Homo-oligomer: A and B are copies of this chain.
Amino acid sequence: MKTIKVLKGQLLQSKGDLNSKIYIIESGLLRSYTIDDKGKEHIYMFGPENWLVADNCEPSVPCQLYIDAIEDSIVNVAPKEEATKQGADMDAILRRLNSMQNRIVMLMSSTARERYLHFIETYPEIPQRVTLKMIASYLGITPEALSRVRNELAQRK
């Protein structure tokens, strides 16, 4: 486990990489994402301070996520074996499972508006640090759709 400094925009992991690592963010902001066949980016997760970002695949198989830095960041890098063998904070894993479950339920049953409202409520710090385009990508909608949702919400007041 070593600590590294990464600059905004720097790529830490590419789709297809073997032996992908686990990144624990000390400061800054990372993101993990895929690029589909049409070349479109889909943000899988944001990684602010104290979060853990990784592709949840076995070390031996090619990973499917890209990981890069949205802000200059200080990051701890650990190989997966290490992190899984030693105690591995069970509480953190359960929180993670829970947030993924929420995400799946949202993606299956919520409208663009509901997703946005849930997002800003759940992650109030993130919106100020990323572009609307990235939020839209995380929510699974287009920037245009997000813009409209935000307008409707602003007017409704």
Interfacial residues, chain A to chain B (CB-CB below 8 A) = 34, 36, 40, 42, 44, 55-58, 64-65, 84, 88, 90, 93-94, 96-98, 100-105, 107-110, 140
Contact = CB atoms under 8 A, between A and B. Distances in A.
Contact of A109 (B40, B90, B93, B108): B40
Contact of A98 (B36, B57, B88, B109): B57
Contacts of A36: 109-110
Contacts of A104: 44, 100, 103-104, 107
Given A90-B84, A94-B56, A42 B108 contact: yes
A64 B105 contact: yes
A9 B103 CA distance: 27
A157 B78 CA distance: 47
Q: Which 3 A-B pairs have the closest CB atoms?
A: A56-B97, A107-B107, A36-B109
Given A56-B100, A100-B100, 18 more contacts: A34-B108, A34-B109, A44-B105, A56-B97, A56-B98, A56-B101, A57-B98, A84-B90, A84-B94, A93-B97, A96-B97, A100-B101, A100-B104, A103-B104, A104-B107, A107-B108, A107-B140, A108-B140
